[in-house]
Structure 1
Amino acid sequence: MKDKGKLVIWPVYIDQTRSRSNGRIISRKSSVKEPQLNEIKKAALELGLNPEVEPEKAYPKAWWEVSGRVLVDNKGPKSVIAKQISAGIKKTRTR
């Protein structure tokens, strides 16, 4: 299994426009609007998480919507890593 030791970060986890029941795992205040895979990858790279982008994957709860996913190194709780990635995206969007 190639994603052993990795965490899956779906864009929906940090999407401000989604509800918790639709997959968001961090607070609205911490999340960003409609994150893109390349933004998640860039933020994960800055955190040193060795991201691997899989653009052809679909979030299981919305299997008809191919949104892609990013695999990152498992260096802590998923919610903490998602918050850090979201903060990184916010930082790059304000530049």
Structure 2
Amino acid sequence: MDRRGEWIIWTVYFDSTKSRRLGRKVPRGISVKSPSFDELVKAVERLGLKYEAYPDKKHPASWFEGPPGYVAVKIPEGKKKSVILKEIAKEIIRLRQEQQARGGGKP
């Protein structure tokens, strides 16, 4: 499994209930409680990123709990990973806001 040219992006990167030590990568202010794998995939799709999905994998630091799954995103030219992570986090927030506006719970 050659991952050169790709970034691994785990659901736990966006989980406000996790510490940085346990894998959260974005600031708590733009993280969400228990993000789902589906939310991650939808956010990546809406941003137009090319990716492969791995829904059943567990983050090494929290293999015993937490939301499973990651996407392997093709590195967009000229972008830093930290910027992409923040864009994905904001897109997950938008997805949740849209879901609430439609009267539903978490997607």
Asked if the contact 1:41/1:52 (under 8 Å) is kept, the reply is no
Matched residue type, 2:84: I
Q: CA RMSD in A?
A: 1.5
Per-residue CA deviation, residues 36-93 of structure 1 (Å, 9 max, x unaligned), is 1111111111111112110121111123347111111212222211111111111111
Q: What's the TM-score, normalizing by structure 1?
A: 0.88
Contiguous gaps of at least 5 residues in structure 2: 99-107
Overall identity of the aligned pairs, in %: 42
Asked if the contact 1:37/1:53 (under 8 Å) is kept, the reply is no
Partner of 2:102: none
Contiguous gaps of at least 5 residues in structure 1: none
Partner of 2:64: 64
Asked if the contact 1:51/1:73 (under 8 Å) is kept, the reply is yes
Give the total of aligned pairs.
95
Q: What's the TM-score, normalizing by structure 2?
A: 0.79
Partner of 1:82: 85
Matched residue type, 2:72: L
Q: Give the 4+ runs in structure 1 shifted more than 3 A.
A: none
Distance 1:93 1:8 in 2: 23
